[in-house]
Amino acid sequence: MTHITIHRGAPKRSIAPVFWLLFGAGGMLSALFGPALIILTGIMLPRGWGLPASFFDYPHVLAFARHPLGKLLLLAVIALFLWHGAERIFLTLKDMRAGTLSVLRMLTYGVAAVLTLATIALLLAIGF
């Protein structure tokens, strides 16, 4: 009787689930709170509609960005929204055969990664 041993390396792990998780988290956050966020920061705050005009002052916004909770909120919204958009744009451009996969990854995941790091750096530089 002969024994045959098959040597298999560990199954190759895919990194794709990480991107899917970020995509899903950003998609859910923007679906639940996105409309209100855009109305608040894009329309009401800059125009002083329904909110005190002082809320959009430099000292107020700085105090918000210096608070740990404010930092967490800003990072969650900016980074997760970016990763959500990156995943959608990547898959669509891939389906359109707009370029090689490595180029498309650089343009989408790459940009999202750089901007996420920039957001973290800015939030730290703004101080506590």
Partner 1 sequence: MSERRPFHRPQPRDWWARPPYLAYTLRELSGVAVALYAAILLAGLVCLWRGPEAFGVYRRVLASDWSLLVHLGLLAGVLWHVVTWFQILPKTMPKLILRGQPVPPRQVTTIALLLALVCSTGLLVVVIAIGALS
85 binds partner 1 (CB under 8 A): yes
Q: What are phi and psi of 73, to 5 degrees?
A: -65, -45
CB-nearer residue toward partner 1: 106 or 119: 119
Helix (H, G, I), strand (E, B) or coil at 72: helix
Which one among 1, 6, 18, 42 touches partner 1, defined by CB under 8 A?
42
74 binds partner 1 (CB under 8 A): yes
Tokens read off for 90 = 């990547």
**Type of residue at 89:** I
Which one among 18, 67, 92, 101 touches partner 1, defined by CB under 8 A?
92
| Distance, CA of 85 to CA of 36 (rounded, Å) | 18
* DSSP conformational letter for 15: S
| Distance, CA of 24 to CA of 61 (rounded, Å) | 29
114 binds partner 1 (CB under 8 A): no
99 binds partner 1 (CB under 8 A): no
Which position has the token pair 């409309």? 35
Footprint of partner 1 on this chain (CB under 8 A)?
24, 26-28, 30-43, 45-47, 50-52, 55-56, 58, 61-62, 65, 74, 77-79, 81-82, 84-89, 91-92, 95-97, 112, 115, 118-119, 122-123, 125-126
